[in-house]
């Protein structure tokens, strides 16, 4: 037997030739401009200690969930945390998944039915697209953040649904896009969804912890939470831990428990992981200073690059500087890293060819001097 299938070897070789081969790296001690730990929660000793104290006080001396949540893995800390999350986000119900990827795949693969129509932003995350592909729905992409293109599609869909009474139309977008750091016109999207009787779904992964009075996200900041069918939130960014949740009605939660395969057929998160989520959420309400510093850092970063045509506009923690070419952007990233700054290159095919970039993630713990220095090096 050959050591490795030839077709797979060829694909790896092509990645290497295009300077796009992905490789794992270990954490470093460089100044962090690459992680999603926007508020420093992942390194918070306070959250770590409070999580330990919570587990001890509840006598949770267990290392794993022991099974899926439908069998033996639904510990009481799950229900308590989901209730807290639902209240925090002013939602009727919340359902925890093992990751944001699991949440999106589980949601779209189970909610979308045969003859349904899903309209998705062309820059939607891979987990959204994978979930859509696993469904039996008809899918159409609209131009990035282009409400005119979306409405044209909705007009066409209304003609289809008039003939197919069983069709339901869904719209999905992200409140903060993970590569460009920009946002759609959520108020206009809500208006279009209401006008065309479509169901709006918003992935809030990169908005949680940053936007909203207590970090509830951009949808709540705009007071649109009652007009969105479902919100997907993840805990691996500003909350500094792991997992995700889907927010919506109690009926939606019941449906997902019964039909979302990525929820049903997997071992649940450990009580320790869920306790960390619970404590991190409680910490959010106390983190106004961290959010204020982060907003200041974002404004300062933008002011330093205000004259650069390669800097994509963003009001979030994510900022991209376009540097076309895998080899060129990798070389510049290595230069910044050699000078003490952890800035990662984003290569094609993760982004389209010619849109390769340096992706800067800003944090509450970055200083203005660090921002000034790394941009001077750039």
Domain boundary among 284, 306, 328: 284
Domain-embedded: residue 47 = no
- Note whether 307 and 341 are same-domain residues: yes
- Note whether 207 and 303 are same-domain residues: no
Residue 247 corresponds to which tokens in the numbers above?
């927010």
The per-residue pLDDT for range 265-286, each reduced to its tens digit, is: 999 999 999 999 999 999 998 9
The rounded percent of the chain whose pLDDT value lies above 70 is 98
Residue 130 to residues 106, 125, 180, 208, 376, Cα–Cα distance (Å): 10, 9, 20, 23, 39
Question: What local confidence, expressed as pLDDT, does residue 25 receive?
Answer: 85
- Which residues, at least 6 apart from 190, have a Cβ–Cβ distance to it below 8 Å? 200, 224, 227, 228
The per-residue pLDDT for range 334-349, each reduced to its tens digit, is: 999 999 999 999 999 9
For residue 151, give its domain range: 62-284
- Note whether 315 and 280 are same-domain residues: no
Domain boundary among 284, 308, 329: 284
Question: What local confidence, expressed as pLDDT, does residue 161 receive?
Answer: 61
Residue 293 to residues 161, 236, 242, 317, 363, Cα–Cα distance (Å): 48, 20, 24, 12, 8
Residue 94 corresponds to which tokens in the numbers above?
């919340």
Residue 319 corresponds to which tokens in the numbers above?
């900022």
Is residue 160 scored above 80 in pLDDT? no
- Note whether 245 and 313 are same-domain residues: no
Q: According to DSSP H, which parts of 21-146 are helical?
A: 45-57, 76-88, 100-111, 126-134
**Of the given ranges (16-20, 316-320, 360-364), which has the lowest mean pLDDT?**
16-20
Domain-embedded: residue 107 = yes
- Note whether 264 and 129 are same-domain residues: yes
The per-residue pLDDT for range 68-86, each reduced to its tens digit, is: 999 999 999 999 999 999 9
Closest among 158, 180, 159 to 171, alpha carbons compared: 158
Domain-embedded: residue 318 = yes
Residue 118 to residues 58, 175, 300, 334, Cα–Cα distance (Å): 43, 17, 39, 40
Question: What local confidence, expressed as pLDDT, does residue 251 receive?
Answer: 98
Residue 311 to residues 234, 352, 354, Cα–Cα distance (Å): 26, 16, 14
Taking the CA of residue 123 as centre, how many other CA atoms within 13 Å lie in the half-sphere pointing to its CB? Answer: 18
- Note whether 70 and 184 are same-domain residues: yes
- What are the backbone angles phi and psi of residue 327, rounded to the nearest 5°? -65, -40
The rounded percent of the chain whose pLDDT value lies above 90 is 88
- Note whether 208 and 304 are same-domain residues: no
Is residue 320 scored above 70 in pLDDT? yes
Domain-embedded: residue 3 = no
Domain-embedded: residue 245 = yes
- Note whether 156 and 262 are same-domain residues: yes
- Note whether 242 and 372 are same-domain residues: no
Domain boundary among 284, 310, 330: 284
CATH number assigned to the domain comprising residue 143:
3.40.640.10
Domain-embedded: residue 304 = yes
**Of the given ranges (96-100, 156-160, 270-274, 342-346), which has the lowest mean pLDDT?**
156-160
Domain-embedded: residue 348 = yes
The per-residue pLDDT for range 366-377, each reduced to its tens digit, is: 999 999 999 999
Give the confidence band of 309 by pLDDT, cuts at 50, 70, 90: confident
Domain-embedded: residue 24 = no
Give the confidence band of 163 by pLDDT, cuts at 50, 70, 90: low
- Note whether 333 and 210 are same-domain residues: no
- Note whether 261 and 291 are same-domain residues: no
- Note whether 170 and 293 are same-domain residues: no
- Which residues, at least 6 apart from 296, have a Cβ–Cβ distance to it below 8 Å? none
CATH number assigned to the domain comprising residue 346:
3.90.1150.10
Question: What local confidence, expressed as pLDDT, does residue 20 receive?
Answer: 85
Question: What local confidence, expressed as pLDDT, does residue 243 receive?
Answer: 98
Residue 82 corresponds to which tokens in the numbers above?
């989901």
What is the number of structural domains in the chain? 2
Predicted TM-score (pTM) above 0.75 = yes
Closest among 38, 46, 80 to 283, alpha carbons compared: 46
């Amino acid at each position: 037997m050959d050591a490795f299938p030839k077709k797979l070897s060829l694909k790896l070789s092509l990645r290497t030739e295009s300077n796009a081969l992905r490789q794992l790296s270990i954490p470093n001690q460089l100044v962090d401009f690459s992680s999603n730990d926007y508020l420093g929660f992942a390194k918070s000793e306070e959250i770590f200690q409070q999580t330990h104290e919570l587990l001890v006080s509840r006598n949770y001396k267990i290392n794993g969930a022991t099974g899926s949540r439908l069998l033996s893995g639904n510990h009481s800390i799950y229900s308590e945390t989901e209730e807290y999350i639902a209240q925090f986000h002013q939602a009727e119900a919340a359902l925890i998944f093992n990751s944001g990827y699991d949440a999106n795949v589980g949601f779209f693969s189970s909610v979308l039915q045969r003859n349904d129509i899903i309209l998705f932003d062309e820059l939607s995350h891979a987990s959204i697209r994978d979930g859509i592909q696993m469904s039996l729905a008809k899918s159409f992409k609209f131009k990035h953040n282009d409400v005119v293109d979306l409405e044209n599609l909705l007009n066409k869909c209304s003609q289809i649904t008039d003939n197919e009474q069983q069709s339901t139309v869904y719209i999905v977008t992200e409140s903060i896009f993970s590569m460009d750091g920009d946002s759609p016109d959520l108020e206009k999207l809500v208006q279009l969804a209401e006008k065309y009787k479509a169901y709006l779904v918003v992935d809030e992964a990169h908005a949680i912890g940053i936007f909203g009075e207590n970090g509830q996200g951009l949808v709540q900041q705009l007071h649109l939470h009652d007009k969105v069918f479902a919100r997907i939130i993840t805990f691996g960014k500003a909350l500094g831990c792991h997992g995700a949740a889907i927010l919506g009605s109690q009926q939606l939660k019941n449906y997902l428990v019964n039909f979302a395969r990525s929820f049903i057929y997997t071992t649940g998160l450990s009580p320790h992981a869920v306790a960390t989520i619970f404590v991190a959420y409680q910490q959010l309400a106390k983190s106004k200073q961290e959010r204020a510093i982060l907003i200041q850092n974002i404004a300062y970063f933008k002011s330093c690059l205000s004259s650069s045509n390669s800097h994509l506009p963003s009001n979030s923690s994510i900022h991209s500087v376009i540097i076309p070419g895998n080899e060129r952007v990798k070389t510049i990233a290595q230069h910044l890293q050699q000078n003490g700054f952890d800035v990662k290159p984003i290569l094609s095919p993760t982004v389209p060819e010619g849109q390769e970039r340096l992706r800067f993630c800003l944090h509450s713990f970055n200083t203005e001097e660090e921002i000034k220095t790394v941009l001077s090096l750039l």
